[in-house]
Structure 1
Amino acid sequence: MKFTLGWLKTHLETDAPIERIAETLNAIGLEVEGIADRAAALAPFRIARVIEAVPHPNADRLRVCRVDTGSGEVSVVCGAPNARTGMTGVFASPGAFIPGTGITLKTGEIRGVASAGMLLSAREMGLGEDHAGIVELPEDAPVGAAYAAWAGLDDPVIEIGVTPNRGDAFAVRGVARDLAAAGLGTLKPWSAPKIVGDGPSVVVWRNDYPEACPWVLGRTVRGVTNGESPDWLKRLLTAIGLRPINALADITNFFTVDLGRPLHVFDANKVAGGALVLRRGAGETFRGLHGRDVTVESEDCVIADAAEVQSLAGIVGGEATGCDATTTDVFIECALFDRVRVALTGQRLGIHSDARQRFERGIDPALLPAGLDAATAMIVEICGGVPSEVSVAGAEPAWRRRAAMRFERLAGLGGADIEPERAIDILRRLGFGVAGRGSDSVTVDVPSWRNDIAVARSNYAYDPDIYFEGSLTGILDPAPDLDAGRVRTVREGASAIGAEIDLIEEVLRIDGLDRIAPVSLPGIPAVPRATLTLRQGRAVRVRRLLAARGMAECVTFSFLDRESAARFGATPEALALANPIAADLDQMRPTPLATLALAAAKNVARGFADPALFEIGPGFRDATPEGQDSIAAGLRVGETPLSWTSPARAVDIWDAKADVLAVLAELGVPMEALSVTADAPGHYHPGRSGTVRQGPKTVLGHFGTLHPALCAALDLPANSAGFEIMLDAIAEPKRRRKSAPSLPPFQPIRRDFAFVVDAGISAEALLRAARGADRALIAEAALFDRYAGNKLPGGQLSLAIAVTIQPREATLTDAEIEALSGKIVAAVAKATGATLRS
């Protein structure tokens, strides 16, 4: 957004220097991106008159000019074809820098004639591309005066960056309003002259697309003369980078920047049928004023006459009905277009225009009548003509709404200690009307030009009895329950949750964000907090351990076909997917082991016969959050090497058990508190599986060879061994002080015992009894042999264990060792009924 300082002062009464204006703009959120002071580059140039111009004696195309600079006469050699006696131009003395050529003038001789300066062209001054001759000024231009000041080029150009929510700041008046609210002057009153129309408009509106344009006005001005714009208007437009076209087009560009009110003018005599229709596009192509063909689609809003499309609404006009020097009757369009549709159309077609820039950010919906009257008055003043009555389609939408702000939130949320009266005064100066004042809050009427003080989509207040034919898009967000293009209006006084935040932001930025007291961030503790939860940390440790044990991690779907899921557990209807991504993925898995088995079967089928896979993921018991378990599951298939020096062997139950115990040990579960029972789930082999428990009730995991029927159904090898570890069931290890390690200096002693027990007695029970015989001396008890055969009575078997005895105080004597052995035999006999095998 560009404007000149002089243009700003047409709306703002201020004597602040430009440096303070720029500082204030930055402080209130309208960031200054640059200030161009053209007068600085033109400062050395003065108005001069050519007293005499005669041919150069030594060059046919040069002239020797005697020039009055206002401070004396100098000789200048000039090659411009229009240099002549009596003309007035712009003179640069020796030492001046010429911006158009990048040189610094020096006194010299040209073909033997002294030249002490230069008469300048527009390009040499950096004011255009005209280099056909030197600049010619009116005869009454004051000789010796600074050219920049006389030509009005001493007006600095300010460029600001405007955030997308501040559509009102794309107008010079909107910027002036903000500066006045910040205490940098007074906003000048503005009102449009009242135009009384003479008869009906020659061109009228018809609206067949109210969703895209809820309200449109227009009038004809007959008998205009469309020539060049006055100098003041051309200077303003040129200063901000716009090319003057003709008076009618320049006036519309002026109001686009001045009030943020885009307008368009049609040559009324080129409009076929006497009517302009707002409708959907139908694939037509027309030539736009930007010089390119535009093809419109059904979602685009176009303006068409009886012959063809003449304009792309809110974006670019058409060349066929454009105004030129032959225009005598003009029709002025002043519309309110849907900002979303304008943005989508402009983006699709890649057309960028000042009108689109403002419409897609939201313009003032109440400004249409005043904007039309102001433009009409300027057209009549500059171009003459007689205005008609206004043609209208649609009606002004219900934009009025209220918002409330609690004073304590200025400090609690914004961190600024601002007095309530100060906050209310800021809102008043920004155009908000105070509708109600309480001891702790204020309620304000939001002005029409502040579309960013938004009503949240979910907080519209609908009135079923009030309808508006069209869309409120462009003023407020579209309602979520559109009904065939009919949108319920927002009840007057409706407010939104987010509106209070917007009001706080307005007060804070105008009061000065730099006045908010800085608050230090909380100190960072020397020891940072853990970045992972206990559950996440466990998953990481288990993942690393199983990978180190030669297994590959899988990430499989949490659902599979019901038939396969039923082989691994219950398949309640609540866990069936109502809308599965595939017909064979319709059931939530009871355990990750199920999907691992399917993955392993695919590997085996493709020739990779020895997969070792694991996954840490959810298993599902029911549809409640509590029915989801975090499980570490693994599956070994085929063969596995004992070590890199040993030949491979078939995997078995003990591989799976070793994986389970290794994981539990890694997670800090005390091994002496574990027991193994033979009640594994049904998808395991009933005689080659087990369940690991901590205490009688807590199940920590299952392991074993998969059931033969399951292996046959999935085409897996019969010796496939898997495990499941219930990570959620593992208690957090107690934090204890680490004691000094116990490192007895005495050599341990190993004694082997073979017991005959009933076949129903588990080895775990026998080992537990042996360890408990003397916990001070017995360091370890482990099973190393199991025998069942014809040398033992029926229903009995032999379990051989190795007991490690670790003396701590002194070397044990033979008698003490024998006594301890007797205690072990007695403890095992008492606990299991076993007898020492002879």
Structure 2
Amino acid sequence: MKFSLSWLKYYLQSDADANQIAAALNNIGLEVEGVENPADKLSDFRVGKVLSAAPHPQADKLQILSVDAGDGPKQVVCGAPNARAGMLGVFGPAGATVPSNGMMLKVAEIRGVESNGMMCSIAELELGDDHDGIIELPDDAPVGDRYADYAKLDDPIFDVSITPNRQDCMGVMGIARDLAAAGYGEFKPVIVPEISGDYPCPIEIEIADKDGCPAFYGRVIRGVKNGPSPKWLQDRLKAAGQRPISALVDITNYLMFACGRPAHIYDLSKLTGKITARRANEGEEVLALNEKTYKLNSSMTVIADDAGVHDIAGIMGGEHSGCSDETTDILLEIAYFTPENIAKTGQALTLTSDARTRFERGVDPAFLDDGMMLLTDLVLQICGGEASEIVRAGTPPVKPRQIDFDTGLTLILGGVNVTSAQQKEILQKLGFDIDAKWNVTIPSWRRDIDGAADLVEEVVRMVGLDKVPSTPLPRADGVARPTATPLQKLERKMRRSAASRGMNEAINWSFLPEKEANAFGGGAWTLANPISEDMKVMRTSILPGLLSAARRNMDRGALSVRLFEIGRRYFRAKDGSSDERLTLGMVMAGDKNARHWASGKAGKFDAYDAKAEAMALLSAAGVATDNLMIMGDAGAHFHPGQSGTLRMGPKNILASFGTLHPLTAKAFDLDGPVVAAEIYLDSIPAKKGVGAFMRAPYAPPALQAVKRDFAFLFPNDGQAYQLERAIRGCDKQHVKDARIFDAFTGNGVPEGQVSIAIEVTLQPQDKSFTDDELKSLSDKIIAAAAKNGGLLRT
């Protein structure tokens, strides 16, 4: 939620500045996500006077202006149609940055004429949408003064994250109440006028769905004049991130952001018969204000007249009954809608709005009369007209709630020693009524307060959460048993191992945009009501998030990116439940050598780099990598022929690695070769015993090993790892290793075959090999190779 400092101080008498207010909000649990001062980006812009205006000799639509911004005349080329001698406007000198496009102004030639800055429009300063001409200021504007000071734009804007339980702070007035209770000023509640009607309300209002809409108040105002809302109201709405539309629409939005109370105004001429809050008919449709048509069902509450549905109750109004510039007679609506019904309807329609956000959290049910009076007062002040009497249908669910409170609980539960008098003062400032026996009456706007512990929390957060002492939990006697599971231990070890190999850890969301998920085969789970469209699909691969992170780093000038992440991939089990699999993903892109003076000399990453990292991390996990099988391509998102899988047996895939397919890299706006790997930690067989991750004791052999090289002719379309594997297994007692070190095609090698050179390590046991023993071992090696398609090359 956004609001300006001046708006906050409309309800809070305080001398605190923006920094103090921001710190106070954080201390009382209202997290400040940012504070922005509109004046900061306009600090270089000045009030300037156009001394003269002459046609540009090389362009019909340009003029050459002489502008004085307090430091003497400057020549400026301008294309605005309203630029003329004698007018006052906003001048941006060379060195200033234009807010709308980030361009730094420089002294430049425009069609052969030097220009020393620019005269600015409202759109260029991001103060509105008007860009048809430059800003025209009144004749009394002080030439040379900072425009931000003259326009009173030095008004910091707070962006506060309101947690779902604090529905009372969904309006600026509620936030001011909290700050006053914390000692940062005096709360100034809104003054509610009493406006009696001049005539009976001419429209009938009834409720047919008391579960969804317990109360519905309305009144008619005749003779209004719609148009632009006043500047003060527009400024406050802009601070809240809202675009001013018209006076009648802006008034309802203002009431919602100021007091947390959504309301609606209908054009009376577009209504037929009585207004009813009812359940929608199955399949009934409504065209909402967002210009989308929604199909409703019988569980949803709507506002309708005799002709049909006008509103999706509590969420969004209808297009055809909205107010326009021609509107003269209106119906004001203030209603209470059941939070649970609003939430279910919004989820079913995947429709969000500021009104829904407030209604589903629970607005103040006792604020209907006050809200109607405030709404009426704003309309009469800004748009004029005559108000009718109020029609009240139904009864708001206002039930007095009391808690028998013991002030000693604040020390017991909160750990803070606060006097009873101070606790009483805090709670009363927050709106609680307290009698002599400490029976605390909960205000109607605090739906989140349920018991004594909640009152303790209110006192503690106002005193300051930083006052809560750090008290360790009591430790039981004896030696504590380890609580980490083998998988958790493996995860920690892999995280340390990846970091020790020079990779940086990334932490990404488990949700993906559909486009990124589709690049990796889509997802098994798609959210029906995602937080945003960029967080819609549960990931089935760790790589999309890492690739997006790699792109962000490369866009910001990183020459080399080496990222890893440990997280879960989400699949659908056969019984329909979620199947979550712990996985380590890694991505490497750019130059291997990130030094600027050596960039490119070490080349780019390739599939072998990804394989080496995967093998090293599997080894750190306790896997005997010498016995792994290397098979096939790793999937459609990898480059054919430049990828593979590491397996423990034909079916148990421990890792996939390789160079990404160019189309996959392009989907993430990454240039050049990008290599990646995924290690499926849940597929690594768990080791038993205390020393699961302990290295075997080092026992060097007593005798020198013997190495022999063999060259075999092997089919081009074969899998060479099978040859290597067969040789390693032909005599496990003496053949300690087999390693391919060369592959040759060309002169002397038949077409369709490749010469594979393998180095075999032979280890004698209790005595050195004799020639006959070496020949016997060589024969075993040749025979094993022959069984797997390898013919000894002669």
TM-score range with shorter-chain normalisation? 0.5 to 0.7
Aligned to 1:446: 442
Distance 2:107 2:194 in 1: 60
The separation in 1 between residues aligned to 2:48 and 2:201, in whole angstroms, is: 51
Q: Corresponding residue for 2:467? A: 515
**Alpha carbons 2:365, 2:398 under 8 Å: kept:** no
* CA distance in 2 between partners of 1:127 and 1:21 (Å): 25
Moved over 6 A (4+): none
CA separation in 1, counterparts of 2:270 and 2:360? 29
Does residue 501 (structure 1) correspond to residue 453 (structure 2)? The answer is yes
Matched, 1:289 2:241: no
- Aligned to 1:137, the other structure's residue is in SS state coil
1:141 is displaced (CA, Å) by 3.4
Instruction: Give the drift of 1:385.
Output: 0.3
Q: CA deviation at 1:63?
A: 0.7
| Correspondence 1:42 to 2:38 | no
Q: What's the counterpart of residue 280 of structure 1?
A: 279
Q: Which amino acid aligns with 1:436?
A: A
- 8 Å contact kept, 1:405–1:504: no
Question: How far off is 1:136 after superposition?
Answer: 2.9
Spell out, residue by residue over 1:112-156, the C-alpha distance to the aligned partner (whole angstroms, 9 max, x if none).
433222111233223345443322334443333322233332211
Residues 223 and 328, structure 1, Cα contact 8 Å, conserved in 2: yes
Counterpart of 1:637 in structure 2 is: none
2:62 matched to which residue of 1?
A: 62
The 2-side partners of 1:191 and 1:133 are apart by 41
| Counterpart residue number, 1:397 | 397
Shift of residue 353 of structure 1? 0.8
CA contact (8 A) 2:173 2:189 kept: no
Instruction: Using the TM superposition, give the Cα deviation of residue 328 of structure 1 relative to its aligned residue in structure 2, in angstroms.
Output: 0.1
Letter in 1 for 2:254: F
Aligned match of 1:330: 330
Task: Find the counterpart in structure 1 of residue 563 from structure 2.
Answer: none
1:276-326 superposed Cα distances (whole Å, 9 cap, x missing partner): 111110021121111111222111111111101011110000111100001
What is the distance in 1 between the residues matched to 2:112 and 2:293? 57
Q: Which amino acid aligns with 2:472?
A: S
**2:268 matched to 1:268?**
yes
Partner of 1:433: 433
- Structure 2 letter corresponding to 1:21: I
1:417 equivalent in alignment to 2:413: no
Q: Is the Cα contact below 8 Å between 1:365 and 1:399 reproduced in 2?
A: no
Equivalent position amino acid for 1:89 in 2: G
Q: Which has the larger radius of gyration?
A: 1
How many angstroms apart in 1 are the aligned matches of 2:135 and 2:303? Answer: 43
Question: Counterpart of 1:209 in structure 2: which amino acid?
Answer: D
Partner of 2:558: none
After superposition, give the CA deviation of every residue in 1:152-202 in whole Å (9 maximum; x if it has no partner): 322111011111111001010100000000000000142211101011112
Does residue 495 of structure 2 align to residue 528 of structure 1? no
Equivalent pair of 1:191/1:370 in contact (CA under 8 Å): no
Q: Which secondary structure state, in structure 2, belongs to the residue aligned with residue 118 of structure 1?
A: strand
Change (3 A) 1:292 1:14: same
The C-alpha deviation readout for 1:751-793, integer Å capped at 9, x for no partner, is xxxxxxxxxxxxxxxxxxxxxxxxxxxxxxxxxxxxxxxxxxx
Q: In structure 1, what is the Cα distance between the partners aligned to 2:222 and 2:398?
A: 33
The Cα of 1:16 is off from its aligned counterpart by 0.4
User: Quick check: 1:122–1:134 contact (8 Å CA) kept in 2?
Assistant: yes
**What is the rounded CA distance, in whole Å, between the counterparts of 1:251 and 1:189 in structure 2?**
18
- Which residue number in structure 2 is paired with residue 104 of structure 1? 104
Which runs of no fewer than 5 residues in structure 2 stay unpaired? 485-794
Counterpart residue identity of residue 207, structure 1 = I
**AA at the equivalent of 1:262:** P
Residues 129 and 226 of structure 1: CA distance in aligned 2, closer, same or farther (over 3 Å): closer
Alpha-carbon separation, structure 2, partners of 1:529 and 1:110: 78
1:411 is paired with a residue whose SS is helix
Mapped to 2, the partners of 1:83 and 1:191 lie a distance apart of 45
Cα separation, 2, equivalents of 1:404 and 1:160 = 33
RMSD: 1.8
Deviation of 1:234 (Å): 1.2
Cα deviation, residue 531, structure 1: 6.8
Distance change (3 Å), C-alpha of 1:371 and 1:112: same
How many residues in Structure 1 have an aligned counterpart in Structure 2? 483
> 1:150 — aligned with what?
150
Read off the aligned partner of 2:344 and give its amino acid letter: L
Residues of 2 paired with 1:385 and 1:531: CA distance? 72
Call closer, same or farther: CA 1:61–1:504 in 2, change over 3 Å. Answer: same
For 1:344, give the aligned amino acid: K
Flag the 1:525–1:196 CA change in 2: closer, same or farther, 3 A. Answer: same
Whether the 8 Å contact between 2:37 and 2:157 is mirrored in structure 1 is: yes
Residue aligning to 1:203: 203
CA offset digits 1:627-680 (Å, max 9, x no partner): xxxxxxxxxxxxxxxxxxxxxxxxxxxxxxxxxxxxxxxxxxxxxxxxxxxxxx
For residues 67-93 of structure 1, the C-alpha deviation after alignment (integer angstroms, 9 at most, x for no partner) is 232443222111223322233321011
Q: How does 1:187-226 map to 2 (within 5 A)?
A: 187-226=187-226
CA contact (8 A) 2:11 2:188 kept: yes
Distance 1:286 1:100 in 2: 37
Indicate whether 1:248 and 2:248 are aligned.
yes
Q: Is the 8 A contact 1:436 1:444 kept in 2?
A: no
Task: Give the Cα separation in 2 of the matches to 1:76 and 1:241.
Answer: 34
Whether the 8 Å CA contact 1:219–1:388 is kept in 2: the answer is yes
CA distance in 1: counterparts of 2:378 and 2:409, whole angstroms? 46
Aligned-pair CA distance for 1:523: 5.2
Q: Cα distance 1:379–1:531, how it changes in 2: closer, same or farther (>3 A)?
A: closer
State the alpha-carbon separation in 1 of the partners of residues 224 and 164 from structure 2.
38
The alpha-carbon distance between structure 1 residues 160 and 530, as it changes in their structure 2 partners (threshold 3 A), is closer
Q: Which amino acid is 1:510 matched to?
A: M
Distance 1:244 1:530 in 2: 60
Q: Distance in 2 between matches of 1:84 and 1:322?
A: 41
